[in-house]
């Protein structure tokens, strides 16, 4: 009897041990780099990025330009931050554009770093030096290396061997309390995601060590479930709130954008559904209290609340996009995908010049100038934060932003866990070619102007019958699906929000129509998790009674006329200029939200101009009845908060709003007025006389 009990206990321990070395499966599987390619306007957009600072910085920007091409120690210093970020972005950028030089540079970077791994397993500039070793700088490099292996499978053994060697060292360091500085503390999840990739694809019998390392990273790092808990989460701009952790970096925008991956990654090794709920809660809290109509959230270094003149850092935009893609893969709740699409089509282009040579550090929803601001509205950032240029305020966003478009593209399609079905997650023009389970070779091409058009034309070929899924965004109103030219059917999304289409082998055409209404505020998709109550059916709340307008994924803004001044020209690269923008026209408008119309002006030959994210270039606009009001500046030069119940000082007029991503100076959170009550002379008749700018 005693023996039997003993055996049961031991068996229990063994089972628990095995259970702990397992990882929870993801709801959907990402596809390797090289499966999904951009098409149409999206291909053009990546070409614009490649022709801009992203594709040229290796030639002239000292943080990543390799002047000593024979090697030397140059690459090592890059692995601290800049080179690691650059590599993470340029691997997919180079491959998606089939760009000979960028592919060669990124391959040389990989070779140099791996060839110089030291005998302990360390990768990076601290080899052979007395410098203390901190783990974080390598994490973006790991993401780049994984992407490289996905495309160049012949590199698998070399990269995986180097990573396993590094993991053994990292595990020992963590046991000895080494390697965790303030960045490794806050960004631990990025290493966990890499460890999980090893565990899923190339465990080499090291499952226990991998999971043990995940745990040690978590327990030596920021307790994100506490930071994102209902009680402790900051419900407003944090400079006004005492930090219960005594650590500013826990409320740092980029750390939090990356930290959104922490709880879904934790769930994968704890298998505790509380971690999944905490993951969903973190997303909801962040966007409820700091969300922007652009889809991003406000953090001008630290969380900044809801005011439209506060900043959102470019790095947090691309990191939150990447985290949202990961959250959807683990949890399968489409609200993550809806918001990633909004960030990509609004916040990302809004903060970079149309030719993608200049980027801001911080963007504002209401941005009436982009210049040296003294004083400035950002408590933790400098006066140049919203200038468009090479590296205003800090250089990190220059090297980190280029991951945005490429990773949006590579995460646009997913497979179901059984690899039998394909999911089209982010709507836009793409092509995909892959082998599904049972040797089912499938190719998909999607021709569309979306988000600058409502119709998606799919051509699909498959060796065998299979199921295709497509995300129907929450903002779609009506809409239809037609298979092989048959009658249009209404959408009938299944419980996870995806529209299922059973396809026969051979060629199929699908036509998807995804129209939307103008909405005052964005109605969030209800969470599929019943325990999360932060999401609500109300439209997004904007302070001071102001409103933001949306149609489909796009947020609309009044594009303020501007003058441009060149502040600085890089001595080595004449395209790398710092630009100041000043307003050159009235922007102090209130709008009447009951008098809005949507206009669509189809582009000639169904081809969008290039670059499309520029004033007057997109085919869509919203006209609004507006009146001129008094709206003072808050400083030189930013707006004060939108006035509540403003008085008109001019007659009714009609203003044209454009997609936010096409504007550089803008108002996109408007005070409201009632056009029928505007007592200013001529007010009621003016609407028809103003020509619409289309």
Ligand X SMILES: *[C@@H]1O[C@H](CO)[C@@H](O)[C@H](O)[C@H]1NC(C)=O
Tokens of 200: 């899923």
**234-246 burial code (b ≥16 CB/10 A, e <16):** beebbbeeeeeee
Query: Near ligand X by CB under 6 A, which window of 290-298, 394-402, 456-464, 669-677?
Result: 669-677
Longest dimension (CA), the chain: 98
Spell out the residues 6+ positions from residue 257 whose beta carbon is closer than 8 angstroms to its own: 297, 315, 316, 317, 319, 320, 323
Task: Report if residue 156 touches ligand X, rule: CB under 6 A.
Answer: no
Minimal distance, residue 58 CB to ligand X, in Å: 19
Asked if 80 contacts 129 with a C-beta cutoff of 8 angstroms, the reply is: no
d(CA 522, CA 338): 11
Is 165 or 215 the residue whose CB approaches ligand X more closely? 215
Task: Report if residue 676 touches ligand X, rule: CB under 6 A.
Answer: yes
Minimal distance, residue 225 CB to ligand X, in Å: 6
Distance between terminal CA atoms of the chain? 86
- Return the residues of window 553-592 that contact ligand X according to CB under 6 A: none
Minimal distance, residue 308 CB to ligand X, in Å: 22
Helix (H) and strand (E) counts for the chain? 21, 26
Minimal distance, residue 61 CB to ligand X, in Å: 25
Is 277 or 658 the residue whose CB approaches ligand X more closely? 277
Minimal distance, residue 676 CB to ligand X, in Å: 4
Is 116 or 270 the residue whose CB approaches ligand X more closely? 270
Minimal distance, residue 205 CB to ligand X, in Å: 26
Is 168 or 687 the residue whose CB approaches ligand X more closely? 687
Asked if 544 contacts 671 with a C-beta cutoff of 8 angstroms, the reply is: yes
| Contact pattern from residue 627 through residue 666 relative to ligand X, giving x for each residue in contact according to CB under 6 A and a dash for the rest | ----------------------------------------
Is 267 or 326 the residue whose CB approaches ligand X more closely? 267
Among 8, 531, 594, 597, binds ligand X (CB under 6 A): 594
Among 19, 677, 679, 688, binds ligand X (CB under 6 A): 677
Minimal distance, residue 34 CB to ligand X, in Å: 8
**For residue 637, is the peptide bond before it cis, meaning its omega torsion is within 30 degrees of 0?**
yes
Among 8, 120, 274, 684, binds ligand X (CB under 6 A): 274
| Contact pattern from residue 55 through residue 94 relative to ligand X, giving x for each residue in contact according to CB under 6 A and a dash for the rest | ----------------------------------------
Spell out the residues 6+ positions from residue 153 whose beta carbon is closer than 8 angstroms to its own: none
Is 459 or 674 the residue whose CB approaches ligand X more closely? 674
Minimal distance, residue 274 CB to ligand X, in Å: 4
Alpha helix positions (H), 33-155 = 40-51, 53-60, 74-78, 82-96, 100-115, 139-151
Is 70 or 100 the residue whose CB approaches ligand X more closely? 100
Query: Near ligand X by CB under 6 A, which window of 387-395, 405-413, 597-605, 670-678?
Result: 670-678
Task: Report if residue 19 touches ligand X, rule: CB under 6 A.
Answer: no
Minimal distance, residue 431 CB to ligand X, in Å: 11
Asked if 398 contacts 53 with a C-beta cutoff of 8 angstroms, the reply is: yes
Task: Report if residue 685 touches ligand X, rule: CB under 6 A.
Answer: no
Minimal distance, residue 370 CB to ligand X, in Å: 34
Is 55 or 237 the residue whose CB approaches ligand X more closely? 55
The dihedral built from the CA positions of residue 620, 624, 628 and 634, taken in this order, carries a sign that is: negative
How big is the CA angle at 391 (ends 390 and 392), to the nearest 5 degrees?
Answer: 115
d(CA 415, CA 468): 10
Minimal distance, residue 655 CB to ligand X, in Å: 19
Is 305 or 642 the residue whose CB approaches ligand X more closely? 642
Is 129 or 274 the residue whose CB approaches ligand X more closely? 274
452: helix, coil or strand?
coil
Task: Report if residue 674 touches ligand X, rule: CB under 6 A.
Answer: yes
Minimal distance, residue 226 CB to ligand X, in Å: 10
Is 266 or 618 the residue whose CB approaches ligand X more closely? 266
Asked if 173 contacts 131 with a C-beta cutoff of 8 angstroms, the reply is: no
Is 136 or 188 the residue whose CB approaches ligand X more closely? 188
d(CA 232, CA 582): 40
**For residue 81, is the peptide bond before it cis, meaning its omega torsion is within 30 degrees of 0?**
no
Q: Total residues contacting ligand X (rule CB under 6 A)?
A: 8
If phi > 0 it is left, if psi is from -120 to 50 it is alpha, else beta; for residue 182 that is alpha
Minimal distance, residue 420 CB to ligand X, in Å: 26
Minimal distance, residue 329 CB to ligand X, in Å: 21
Query: Near ligand X by CB under 6 A, which window of 6-14, 442-450, 644-652, 672-680?
Result: 672-680
Is 103 or 551 the residue whose CB approaches ligand X more closely? 103
Among 4, 19, 68, 98, binds ligand X (CB under 6 A): 98
Is 51 or 248 the residue whose CB approaches ligand X more closely? 51
Minimal distance, residue 675 CB to ligand X, in Å: 7
88: helix, coil or strand?
helix
Is 49 or 364 the residue whose CB approaches ligand X more closely? 49
Query: Near ligand X by CB under 6 A, which window of 131-139, 432-440, 563-571, 673-681?
Result: 673-681
Query: Near ligand X by CB under 6 A, which window of 7-15, 284-292, 579-587, 671-679?
Result: 671-679
Minimal distance, residue 280 CB to ligand X, in Å: 14
Q: What share of the chain is helix, strand, coil (3-state, %, to 5)?
A: 35, 20, 40
Q: Which long-range contacts (CB under 8 A, 24 or more apart) does 176-182 make?
A: 177/220, 178/133, 179/133, 179/134, 179/135, 180/134, 180/135, 180/220, 180/221, 181/134, 181/136, 182/247, 182/249
- Return the residues of window 295-324 that contact ligand X according to CB under 6 A: none
Q: Closest Cα to residue 204, out of 173, 174, 167, 172?
A: 167
d(CA 437, CA 415): 10
Q: Closest Cα to residue 521, out of 545, 541, 544?
A: 541
Is 591 or 662 the residue whose CB approaches ligand X more closely? 591
Q: Closest Cα to residue 544, out of 376, 670, 363, 678?
A: 670
**601-636 burial code (b ≥16 CB/10 A, e <16):** eebeeeebeebbbbeebbbbbbbbbbbbbebeebee
The gap from C-alpha 574 to its chain's centroid, in whole angstroms, comes to 29
The dihedral built from the CA positions of residue 491, 494, 497 and 498, taken in this order, carries a sign that is: negative
Minimal distance, residue 590 CB to ligand X, in Å: 13
Task: Report if residue 272 touches ligand X, rule: CB under 6 A.
Answer: yes
Is 98 or 494 the residue whose CB approaches ligand X more closely? 98
Instruction: Return the DSSP state at 503.
Output: E
Q: Where does this chain bind ligand X (CB under 6 A)?
A: 98, 100, 272, 274, 594, 674, 676-677
């Amino acid at each position: 009897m005693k023996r039997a009990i003993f055996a049961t206990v031991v068996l229990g321990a063994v089972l628990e041990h095995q259970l702990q070395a397992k990882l929870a499966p993801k709801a959907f599987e990402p596809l390797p780099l090289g499966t999904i390619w951009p098409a149409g306007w999206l291909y053009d957009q990546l070409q614009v990025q490649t022709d801009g600072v992203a594709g040229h910085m290796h030639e002239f920007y000292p943080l990543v330009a390799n002047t000593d091409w024979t090697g030397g120690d140059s690459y090592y210093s890059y692995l601290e931050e800049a080179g690691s970020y650059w590599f993470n972005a340029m691997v997919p950028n180079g491959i998606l554009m089939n760009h000979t030089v960028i592919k060669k540079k990124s391959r040389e970077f990989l070779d140099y770093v791996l060839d110089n791994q030291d005998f302990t397993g360390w990768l990076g500039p601290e080899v052979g030096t007395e410098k203390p070793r901190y783990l974080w700088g390598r994490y973006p490099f790991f993401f780049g290396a994984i992407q490289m292996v996905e495309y160049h499978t012949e590199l698998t053994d070399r990269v995986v061997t180097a990573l396993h060697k590094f993991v053994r060292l990292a595990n020992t360091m963590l046991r000895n309390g080494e390697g965790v500085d303030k960045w490794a503390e806050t960004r631990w999840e990025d290493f966990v995601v890499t460890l999980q990739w090893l565990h899923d694809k190339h465990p080499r019998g090291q499952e226990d060590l991998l999971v043990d390392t995940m745990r040690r990273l978590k327990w030596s790092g920021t307790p994100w479930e506490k930071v994102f808990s209902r009680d402790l989460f900051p419900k407003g701009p944090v400079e006004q709130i005492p930090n219960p952790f005594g650590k500013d970096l826990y409320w740092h925008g980029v750390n939090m954008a990356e930290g959104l991956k922490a709880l879904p990654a934790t769930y994968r090794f704890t298998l505790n559904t509380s971690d999944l709920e905490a993951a969903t809660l973190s997303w909801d809290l962040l966007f409820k209290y700091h969300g922007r109509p652009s889809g991003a959230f406000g953090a001008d270094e630290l969380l900044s609340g809801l005011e439209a003149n506060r900043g959102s850092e470019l790095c947090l935009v691309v990191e939150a996009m990447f985290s949202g893609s990961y959250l959807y893969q683990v949890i399968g709740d489409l609200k993550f995908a809806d918001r990633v699409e909004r960030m990509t089509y609004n916040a990302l282009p809004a903060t970079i010049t149309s030719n993608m040579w200049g980027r801001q550090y911080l963007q504002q929803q209401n941005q009436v100038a982009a210049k040296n601001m003294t004083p400035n509205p950002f408590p933790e950032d400098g006066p140049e934060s919203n200038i468009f240029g090479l590296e205003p305020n800090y250089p990190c966003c220059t090297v980190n932003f280029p991951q945005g478009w490429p990773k949006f593209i590579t995460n646009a399609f997913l497979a179901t866990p059984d690899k039998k079905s394909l999911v089209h997650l982010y709507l836009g023009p793409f092509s995909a070619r892959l082998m599904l389970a049972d040797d089912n070779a499938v190719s998909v091409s999607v021709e569309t102007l979306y988000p600058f058009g409502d119709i998606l034309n799919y051509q699909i070929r498959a060796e065998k019958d299979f199921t295709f899924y497509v995300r129907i965004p929450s903002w779609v109103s009506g809409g239809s699906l037609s298979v092989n030219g048959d009658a249009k059917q209404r959408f009938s999304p299944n419980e996870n929000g995806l529209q299922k289409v059973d396809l026969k082998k051979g060629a199929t055409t699908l036509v998807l129509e995804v129209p939307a209404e103008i909405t005052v505020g964005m109605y969030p998709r209800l969470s599929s998790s019943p325990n999360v109550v932060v999401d609500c059916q109300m439209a997004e709340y904007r302070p001071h009674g102001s409103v933001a307008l949306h149609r489909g994924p796009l947020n609309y803004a009044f594009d303020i006329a501007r003058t441009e001044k060149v502040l600085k020209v890089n001595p080595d690269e004449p395209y790398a200029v710092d630009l100041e923008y000043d307003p050159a026209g009235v922007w102090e408008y209130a709008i009447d939200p009951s008098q809005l119309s949507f206009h669509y002006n189809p582009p000639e030959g169904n081809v969008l101009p290039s670059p499309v994210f520029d004033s007057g270039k997109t085919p869509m606009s919203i006209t609004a009845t507006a009146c001129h009001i008094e709206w003072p500046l808050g400083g030189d030069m930013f707006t004060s908060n939108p006035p509540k119940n403003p008085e008109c000082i001019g007659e009714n007029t009609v203003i044209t709003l454009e997609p936010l991503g096409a504007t550089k100076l803008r108002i996109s959170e408007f005070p409201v007025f009632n056009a029928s009550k505007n007592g200013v002379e001529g007010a009621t008749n003016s609407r028809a006389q103003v020509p619409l700018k289309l």
